[in-house]
Amino acid sequence: MVQNVEKNSFIALENLGKSYLQPNGQTISIIENINCQLQVGEIIALLGPSGSGKSTLMRMIAGLIPPSSGKVLYYNRQLMGLNPGVAIVFQNFALYPWLTVLENVELGLKAKGEAKDTRIQKALRMIDVIGLDGFENAYPKELSGGMRQRVGFARALAVEPELLCMDEPFSALDVLTAENLRFELLDLWLEKRIPTKSILIVTHGIEEAVTLADRVIVLGRNPGRIRADLPIKLPHYRDRKSPEFQALVDQVYKILTNPDLPDSSSQAATTTSTPKPPASQKYQSLPHVRIGSVAGLLELLEGRQEKDLYRLAQELLLEVDDLLPIVEASKLMDLVAITEGDIQLAQRGEKFINSNIDERKAIIRESLQQHIRLVQQICQLLQAKRNHRISEELVLDILENYFTSKEAQRQLRTAMDWGRYAELYSYDEPSGEIFIEESVTESEESE
């Protein structure tokens, strides 16, 4: 597809996709059909659940990994290899411990082939801008986490990148240090003191995204696609308590908690030549939460007035990343209903909280059998075997058609946790065998 390249756009993504070949020979699609343009002068936040491919997308834009389909355009030219206009700030700082602050900051300039004099001059200037003046000769281990990340910023900015990419740059810092650094960075950006045209930040924090960004791109999972591309037009500095700010956070919550919304890439698909993947490639993905957490959420919802997810998370002091998977699992099991970012107990959820332990197990059993495909498949496989025993390898083989090996393991573990709670099957971890207890099979067979 040829896009209408906007005047200010310098990076464009066209039908971009990434897939990986699994050890079993299957190809797993991580990201699919991403179309968007990055404009000069904007801070873009890339949000999405864990595993939705945010870092993968950022790495493709930076040219650190090649796309499997589609392309990244840099000034209308297809990117081959590293993107010369991009520098990255990593979550874990990625500093060389044996180099001083100055030497670490110089690194990118050295790689660009800058002469020693200009290298030192530029590095010192950026060290000053970023608030590390006086620490040029210190080693990373002598610095606090916040200061180490300042070195990460200075190193990335010293090369004067057109696009500064940041992969969860504040998440390894304590809350106050993160807040301070976030605002200092915003200050430098708004005052045009840092030499970069745009910033792309990968984050898990909805509030962080709405605080910093001019545009929030929300990715969905399995595979990662653009679910929404929202402009944030509030003037800086934004008041987190203002109704406008809260309404935007609410809106992002709604998008993240509503997997049924059409993604913007599928709307765009009418104008692209890329065929849509067959529906069979989409496999229900289980959020990795324990039934205990689901029960905890249901109990919290009982008799509550406050049904707005965003406020609920604030009140419970839960990060969105902690709350959303629990909400998603509850929704998959038909225990809660979510409409427009508001959550309420579904009939089954009401019944659950008013039940004793055995009744609760029966409710979850029924729900899993009706709604959770992986559990259904495991039960069918167990029923098909005369001794009602299967090896976990069999389940992993199925899962690896849809997920990476690591994710397949996590899916299996979640299905084991849920199915064991519901007493649908047991799992012997050392031998990796899934089986139905004698008493269960006997009573089923006599029915």
Q: Give the footprint of ligand ATP on this chain (CB under 6 A).
A: 20, 30, 48, 50-56, 404, 406-407
CB of 316 to ligand ATP, least distance (A): 21
CB-wise, 26 or 258, nearer to ligand ATP? 26
Task: Give me the amino acid identity at 125.
Answer: R
CB-wise, 54 or 331, nearer to ligand ATP? 54
CB of 175 to ligand ATP, least distance (A): 19
CB of 304 to ligand ATP, least distance (A): 29
* 394, burial (CB in 10 Å: exposed 0-12, middle 13-18, buried 19+): middle
CB of 159 to ligand ATP, least distance (A): 24
CB-wise, 85 or 224, nearer to ligand ATP? 224
CB-wise, 48 or 419, nearer to ligand ATP? 48
Torsion-angle region of 217 (φ positive above 0: left; ψ -120 to 50: alpha; else: beta): beta
CA atoms within 13 Å, Cβ hemisphere of 333: 34
Note the Cα 329 to chain centre separation in Å.
17
Q: How many helices (H) and strands (E) does the chain have?
A: 17, 15
CB-wise, 233 or 406, nearer to ligand ATP? 406
Contact 16, 67 (CB under 8 A): yes
Picking from 155, 325, 166, 184, the residue whose alpha carbon sits closest to that of residue 256 is 325
CB of 432 to ligand ATP, least distance (A): 21
- DSSP for residue 299: H
CB-wise, 54 or 182, nearer to ligand ATP? 54
Which tokens hold the place of 326?
């629990």
CB of 418 to ligand ATP, least distance (A): 20
CB of 348 to ligand ATP, least distance (A): 30
* 156, burial (CB in 10 Å: exposed 0-12, middle 13-18, buried 19+): buried
Picking from 11, 3, 12, 47, the residue whose alpha carbon sits closest to that of residue 232 is 47
Residue with tokens 């968007």: 36
CB-wise, 39 or 404, nearer to ligand ATP? 404
Picking from 234, 373, 289, 214, the residue whose alpha carbon sits closest to that of residue 50 is 289
Contact 221, 31 (CB under 8 A): no
